[in-house]
Chain A
Amino acid sequence: MDDYQPSTRQGIDPGSPGAKPKRTLRLGQRAAQAALAFLLCAGCFLSLFPWGRAWTRSTLLLPAVISASEPAPLTLAGDSVRFRRITLSSVTGPGFLDIYEPTTPPPPIPGGREAIIVVVGAGDNRDVPQLVNLLQAFAHEGIVVVNVGTPMLFQYKVSARDGEAVVQAFELLEHWPGVDPHHIGIITFSVGDEMACVGAADPRIRDRVAFLGMLGGYVDVSSLLRTVGRRAQEIDGQTQPWHPISTDLYTLASSVSSLLSPTENKLLQKAFPLNNIAPPLTVQQQAQLSPGTAAFYHLLEGDEPGSVDRNLSALSPQMKALLVQLSPMSVIDQIRAPIHLLHDRNDQSIPFTQAQEFAVALARLHHPYDFAAYGIFSHVQVRSNPDMAQLLSDGTKLIQTLNSILLVGS
């Protein structure tokens, strides 16, 4: 470096008055060299290495996840996005796909794009601003995102048959222009995890699913009904009160409607309306329910917290079989993809214990997974004005999960 210093003064006695400016000059020179070295290393890491590219993506995506708006740097530096809505038909019924994709061709490095299939919970949530914002943010990052919905899910009915829509979406993405068929993963929210797990466990695609990310999902309907019936959950040996929201009860009642008589269906819909808390059924109305349906009603109503096990046993064999079918637990041993579990500790829609049970089941199977508990979510949406300390703590965990998900296509 010395031959590159055109105007340094040589031969100054260190003790002389001229030594101090020279020392300051050298310090500034060293600081500038260190800054350039840092910029070189950081620039190389963030663009040349897959881990660095995933980290860049996670950092830019995080503000979009924890807020309802896209960060300016992502809008400025990201790809422009094209949206299209298509319908797939299959033997199990139509699948509605909302596709958000970058308009530009994929760059030579890493080659093909990553694709993510998103399955949102019960109801038609396709136009929910926070979801649309998240899907657009993914697409700005160069990822093809497909939001999958089915008529059953739109009607708040969970069905294992809807897994076919996920399989169809996966197979469509495998041949989608610019998508690397080995970089397709699935992200689910809430009860969407049932159809996502059934799809990810399907022998046609299970060996090619890159990852499965679940926020606020459930694992076993029977244990979910136990928590709902008791209006309490047990976390780390401590019993805590837990009260389901009306949407949970409506979804549970709707999901078993195929097994009920028209009268029973009418009564359960009356007892558990959507977005509303209704008064309990009268004794005369309860008398019109079969013993199995009455047991199911009491579990949802939560009016017999001490008889939950008895009520679970009293369910009809058909309903017990359906509950097993509607539980991701029944297929997790057939899933090959690594699973990322995310759940809010104070989730009022799906109890936190469901994620804990999911993690225990995966650990028992020695299935690759990670599990992070959060405090910033209100079920699957970010709370408004979360605590800053909580935001920092959860943001760190979230960025790790995003990193794992985005590393696949980086």
Chain B
Amino acid sequence: MLILSLFWLFVGLLIGALANAAKLRPAAWVRGGRLGMLGLGALAALLGGWLGTWLFGTLFATATAIWVAVLVVALLPRLITKCNAWLHSRTAVP
């Protein structure tokens, strides 16, 4: 499982790099944003791989790691940005 986990981390890094190239990084993530996307991809792939192992078995864990990582790098930054904007708008209201 250790080798598989390392493989998922590597796949996640690649997906994070692709997300950077696809400009999925929010405009607000200026400082360390690129690295953040890489880390997010790696972490999502690792979690996706373990989720896939539990749900479908190790044979399908890598495929699960891939789609979970893509979904996370595509949606999570957008969600975080929207949440931040919403929180700011709430605190701005007197």
CB within 8 Å of B: which residues of A? 1, 3-6, 8, 28-29, 31-33, 35-36, 39-40, 42-44, 46-48, 52-53, 56-57, 60, 76-79, 104, 106-109, 141-142
Closest to B70 in A: A40
Contact B67 A43 (CB under 8 A): yes
Whole-angstrom CA separation of A108 from B59 in the bound complex: 14
Whole-angstrom CA separation of A52 from B59 in the bound complex: 12
Question: Which 4 interchain pairs have the tightest Cβ spacing?
Answer: A43-B67, A32-B21, A43-B66, A32-B22
Distance in Å: Cβ of A3 to nearest Cβ of chain B: 7
Task: Tell me which residues across on chain B come within 8 A of A36, comparing CB atoms.
Answer: 15, 18-19, 22, 24, 70, 73-74
Total A-B pairs in contact (CB under 8 Å)? Answer: 109
User: Which of B4, B15, B23 is A4 in contact with, Cβ under 8 Å?
Assistant: B23
Closest to A31 in B: B21
Task: Tell me which residues across on chain B come within 8 A of A42, comparing CB atoms.
Answer: 63, 66-67
Contact B70 A39 (CB under 8 A): yes
Q: Is B86's CB within 8 Å of the partner chain A? A: no
Distance in Å: Cβ of A2 to nearest Cβ of chain B: 9
Contact B70 A6 (CB under 8 A): no
With A40-B70, A43-B70, A47-B63 as contacts: A4 and B57 at CB distance below 8 Å: no
- Some 10 contacts from A to B, beta carbons below 8 A apart, are A1-B24, A4-B26, A32-B22, A33-B22, A36-B24, A39-B15, A43-B65, A104-B57, A107-B55, A141-B59
Q: Is B30's CB within 8 Å of the partner chain A? A: yes
Contact B70 A109 (CB under 8 A): no
Distance in Å: Cβ of A58 to nearest Cβ of chain B: 12
Distance in Å: Cβ of A80 to nearest Cβ of chain B: 9
Task: Tell me which residues across on chain A come within 8 A of B63, comparing CB atoms.
Answer: 42-44, 46-47, 52, 56
Task: Tell me which residues across on chain A come within 8 A of B25, comparing CB atoms.
Answer: 4, 6
